Chains A and B, each alone.
Chain A
Amino acid sequence: MLNSERIRWPNGAKCAVLISFDVDGPAVWIEGEREAWHRPRTFSLGGYGPLRGVPRILDLLDEVQVPGSFYVPGWVAENWPSQFRDINLAGHEIGHHGYLHEVYAHRTLDEFAGIVTRAQDAFVANGADPAVGFRSPGGDFRDGNHRILEELGFEYSSSMRGDDRPYRWVVDGRTTDLIEICAHWELDDFPYWGFNDEPADPVSQDRIAGLDWVYDNWKREFDGYYAEGLCYTLMMHPQVIGKPGRVALLRKLIRYMQEHEGVWFATAKQIADWWRETY
């Protein structure tokens, strides 16, 4: 689709906004060499997400009447079952995010398929439907992952960075019904605010970003996406955005977006379904 071509959104909406959360919990600190199993403080940093972040976010989404897409590792669903059920019962979408936030670039395709199934089983055991949406945890995935997702019946992915409107995945040269909804580092809370001293994250131990500056960046991006009629994807983590001051920032941003006419707040599945029917 050319840049000059204006996207048709449902009911004449001017742009789409996806409010999404990766409910990583401590799992994000476990993948790789991070050894959070043996570091209670680091573990608790992640645990803040499901324990405090998720309820605060659910309250906010209820207040502003906006749906969210929550990508939850299977292990998090098993260990924070009441928060997991609350997300599901509130009518938000639950999507796939590994079993323990595995980086798929480091896993074989067979391992990948096993992880996907294990997490789906965790969702079903905790009262949710199997996910139809997939977000690759942390770093990169590998060629071939999306062929397996298609075979397993997934309907969309939200893992790439290369576009500001949805598109159809091309798998083995075939254009498929698997839709991609890209995210972007500048619309992710972790690069701005994620922090730990040991293991060090970020490696440079750079200072935590200013609330006002992140708000301004996200607002400017919204202004651009709105003007051009694109798909604005906020990708956040309850352990990061779920702090009192940052949830207040998110409330202010959503209120700002709601002042605009024709903003379609939708789950990723709704956006993917629309795209598949329309394009």
Chain B
Amino acid sequence: MSVQENLRDSGVSWPDGARAATVITVDLDAELFWVQLDPVSKERPKTLSLGEYGPNRGIPRLLSVLSDYEVSATFFVPGAVADRYSETLRAIDRAGHEIAAKGYLPSSFVHFDNEEQRDSLRRSIAAIERATGKRPRGFRSFDDIDGSTLEILVEEGFTWTSVLAGDDRPQVQLVDNSGAATLIDIPSLWELNEFRYFGFNYGPAMPAGQNRPASYARVAADWKDEYDAYAEARASFVLTLDPQSIGKPGRISILREVLEHIRNRGDAWFTTAGELADWWRDSSYAKIPEGAAEPIRRRTIRQIDTER
């Protein structure tokens, strides 16, 4: 496969001459994933147990692999999960990983008004602080966000997100009056999202069409090919994992295989989402790029409103 050919280089000089900024992100939704998917799950012990596997068995296995490869990851944890699994959260924190917010319940910000968004964010910050004593600075939504969410995040003290999908390197979303970046997004892309390949249940159905769970070997091969191409393009390679899925005894081999591949190449800058956002903010790249989706979306909406 020659995916490395004819790629446009980002031109970014990552620290220490690295070819790709590499971030492992983890969604720890636990059983709340299934409750969010369908509230009937609350009365379905078997379905809930799919999610409980995450904190109980998946997390220890995942932490062990991350420790073997000396990688610090970024964990996105809904506040309700932080409250329920506070000991797990402390173990993640003690191992030197970053913990970021995901709202209180894994519910959709699309359907929240501004006050509901603020309330969810504040409760999630409080829950993570209760568990770890540290205030989260980063946020990932459970699914899409509302048009007002990015501004609300800045007002509530967040400095970065991992929400959008329109880039393969950090992207400045908001700037202040002096032009300084106030919110930076670390994009997470579907093809590098593990749960989308393997998450499965019959009822409530996930995926909705009950498509086949993917081939482990195929996903491992795809991610290695993608990494090689990201390094060629000097982009930022952001993997997204869910412990209830990647944390299975056999599936964890995919992560080992990919980390082994990246380590053997020796050209990655392993960092957390928060560190990467900070680095980007302090770099000469901290500008909203021409053609970025969000300013175009906003401009067009204003135009439509004016014409109406």
- Binding between chains A and B: yes
Which A residues form the contact surface with B (CB < 8 A)? 2-4, 103, 105, 136, 138-143, 159-164, 182, 184-186, 191-192, 201-210, 213-214, 216-225, 227-228, 230
CB-nearest residue of chain A relative to B198? A186
Q: Please tell me if the beta carbons of B44 and A140 are within 8 angstroms of each other in the complex.
A: yes
Q: Give the B interface residue count (CB, 8 A).
A: 38
Nearest first, the 6 closest Cβ-Cβ pairs linking A and B are A204-B209, A224-B249, A162-B49, A221-B250, A213-B215, A202-B210
Q: Please tell me if the beta carbons of B209 and A220 are within 8 angstroms of each other in the complex.
A: no
| A224: chain B residues within 8 A (beta carbon) | 248-253
Given contacts A138-B202, A142-B43, A163-B53, contact A192 B209 (CB under 8 A): no
29 A-B contacts, Cβ less than 8 Å apart?
Answer: A3-B61, A4-B60, A103-B203, A140-B203, A141-B46, A142-B44, A159-B46, A160-B45, A160-B49, A161-B50, A161-B53, A163-B49, A164-B248, A164-B249, A186-B200, A202-B209, A203-B208, A203-B209, A204-B207, A204-B210, A206-B209, A213-B216, A213-B218, A214-B215, A219-B250, A220-B250, A220-B253, A221-B248, A223-B253
| B200: chain A residues within 8 A (beta carbon) | 185-186, 191
Q: Please tell me if the beta carbons of A191 and B46 are within 8 angstroms of each other in the complex.
A: no
CB-nearest residue of chain B relative to A218? B250
Known: A164-B57, A192-B213, A203-B208. 14 other contacts (CB 8 A): A3-B57, A103-B203, A105-B44, A139-B44, A139-B202, A140-B46, A162-B50, A164-B248, A186-B251, A191-B200, A192-B212, A202-B209, A217-B217, A224-B249
| A223: chain B residues within 8 A (beta carbon) | 250, 253
| A186: chain B residues within 8 A (beta carbon) | 198, 200, 213, 248, 250-251
> Does chain A have a CB within 8 A of B13?
no
CB-nearest residue of chain A relative to B45? A143
How far is the CB of B270 from the nearest CB of chain A, in Å? 24
> Does chain A have a CB within 8 A of B180?
no
A-contacting residues, B18-51, CB 8 Å: 43-50
How far is the CB of B259 from the nearest CB of chain A, in Å? 16
Q: Please tell me if the beta carbons of A184 and B49 are within 8 angstroms of each other in the complex.
A: no
A-contacting residues, B248-287, CB 8 Å: 248-253
| A205: chain B residues within 8 A (beta carbon) | 209
Q: Please tell me if the beta carbons of B249 and A204 are within 8 angstroms of each other in the complex.
A: no
Give the complex CA separation of A112 and B142 in angstroms.
Answer: 37
> Does chain A have a CB within 8 A of B296?
no
Give the complex CA separation of A52 and B175 in angstroms.
Answer: 68
Give the complex CA separation of A178 and B97 in angstroms.
Answer: 38
Give the complex CA separation of A218 and B53 in angstroms.
Answer: 19
Q: Please tell me if the beta carbons of B46 and A217 are within 8 angstroms of each other in the complex.
A: no
Give the complex CA separation of A228 and B251 in angstroms.
Answer: 13
> Does chain A have a CB within 8 A of B211?
yes
CB-nearest residue of chain B relative to A2? B60
| B248: chain A residues within 8 A (beta carbon) | 164, 184, 186, 221, 224
| B44: chain A residues within 8 A (beta carbon) | 105, 139-142
Give the complex CA separation of A204 and B202 in angstroms.
Answer: 13
Q: Please tell me if the beta carbons of A220 and B251 are within 8 angstroms of each other in the complex.
A: yes
Q: Please tell me if the beta carbons of B212 and A185 are within 8 angstroms of each other in the complex.
A: no
Q: Please tell me if the beta carbons of A140 and B45 are within 8 angstroms of each other in the complex.
A: yes
Give the complex CA separation of A201 and B61 in angstroms.
Answer: 34
